[in-house]
Structure 1
């Protein structure tokens, strides 16, 4: 049995619309490190209201509830970083070709295997509570052709025990949170930057600010979580929020 750093309070649901929505409706009564896990999430959402469609009983879809974290508003991106790191470290154990795609996806060989959605509550101009929704493709074999997706089973040609992988992920998240509280933002950023998908590689993006495709290279992320891209045509650095830029390839 895995020994956790902080006690967890697990709520298992056979079916739910969204684990994040479930937590939002009830978090007033929830304790720190409450985790809601469901085998059948019918209306899971990702970033920018994209839906996370999965087959019943074949993947991991769960939400982690944290409170009293007291992060400055401009440091909310750190939550995405540490959760991305935790998932990446868990999967990196199995294969070294997993990458973190800004801001919060996990990629294997240019295909998405996992994603994160964080929803924060503000109190006295600080992030006081956060709900972290996590989806990981595990034993599913078929995906919508419109999505470049993969799963653990497709990659490794074997079934994975969902419960075992679930508890590994929770422990990894707790470790990463401990690293952040002990060593600070730089520690978390360094790992994230070292495993950032397509960093220092020429890539194509769609720039929503000017409604056109651009060619550039990912160089960094700012201390507020914006993506820093060096445009190829003028070698200047530009910063983008998640709504302003989309990586094409």
Structure 2
């Protein structure tokens, strides 16, 4: 494991990806900063973050060897490790909102961005990025956002939070993912936000869709039971949950 701490960077994922093209990096090389200026989520969604109050880090995980059609197992593994760490920090009512958000109650406190390096039909390496709202108190442009501070009511030591999460992620990601596939699915769905509930979604053409969240498939699509009783799967960003 190698940890590189930066005073600031536009994106820890981008920095780590560029660094990996310039030199051979050890497995579990980590880039971290308390000031990510252009943080991004899935499909370049922007992340609002005040300098010195939150955490952002990215991990290079080598030798994953998971097929492309099971890529979402990596996201499941990462999400569950993060939930374990946050639970130890006293954060209540932790949930995973498909596909990549970490929630406490109805409030988003963190987000995951995973970029995979593929060879043939196999994922060989992953750059795993995570941003966590820790001590920020005001979010101007994110109505569902919160932080550990606003939820629990106290300031957190950023280094302690960082090292705890890295410990949990290192332990989880050392396990062969395919060997714990069934366990990951069961645990992930036990924390899936709004599972079994009737929800309203907005589609890409801004129309409304209603359905009950059944679960997430092996390839990461969201499975819904629609009002007419049919089951339908939706891919990333095809629908957005309204809550």
TM-score by length of 1: 0.92
Distance 1:206 1:182, change over 3 A: closer
SS in structure 1 opposite 2:174?
Answer: helix
Q: 1:21 pairs with 1, 14, 24, which one?
A: 14
Distance 1:44 1:146, change over 3 A: closer
Residue 209 of structure 2 corresponds to 214
Task: Say if 2:226 is the partner of 1:231.
Answer: yes
Q: Contact between 2:65 and 2:122, CA under 8 Å: does it hold in 1? A: yes
Q: 1:127 pairs with 120, 123, 128, which one?
A: 123
Q: Contact between 2:35 and 2:51, CA under 8 Å: does it hold in 1? A: yes
Residue 184 of structure 2 corresponds to 188
Distance 1:48 1:203, change over 3 A: same
Deviations along 1:167-219, one digit per CA (max 9) or x if unpaired, are 110111122223454842111111100010000111110122x6411111101
CA drift at 1:145 = 4.2
Runs of 4+ in 1 over 6 A off after TM superposition: none
Task: Say if 2:145 is the partner of 1:152.
Answer: no
- For residues 42 and 96 of structure 1, the distance between their equivalents in structure 2, rounded to whole angstroms, comes to 28
Q: Contact between 1:180 and 1:188, CA under 8 Å: does it hold in 2? A: no
How many positions carry a matched residue from both structures?
240
* Unaligned segments of structure 2, at least 5 residues: none
Q: Contact between 1:218 and 1:228, CA under 8 Å: does it hold in 2? A: yes
Distance 1:98 1:194, change over 3 A: same
- For residues 145 and 9 of structure 1, the distance between their equivalents in structure 2, rounded to whole angstroms, comes to 35
- For residues 106 and 4 of structure 2, the distance between their equivalents in structure 1, rounded to whole angstroms, comes to 33
Residue 70 of structure 2 corresponds to 75
**Worse-matched range after superposition: 143-152 or 32-41:** 143-152
- For residues 133 and 154 of structure 1, the distance between their equivalents in structure 2, rounded to whole angstroms, comes to 23
Q: Contact between 1:83 and 1:176, CA under 8 Å: does it hold in 2? A: yes
Residue 4 of structure 1 corresponds to none
Residue 97 of structure 2 corresponds to 101
Distance 1:53 1:211, change over 3 A: closer
Q: Contact between 1:18 and 1:43, CA under 8 Å: does it hold in 2? A: yes
SS in structure 2 opposite 1:149?
Answer: coil
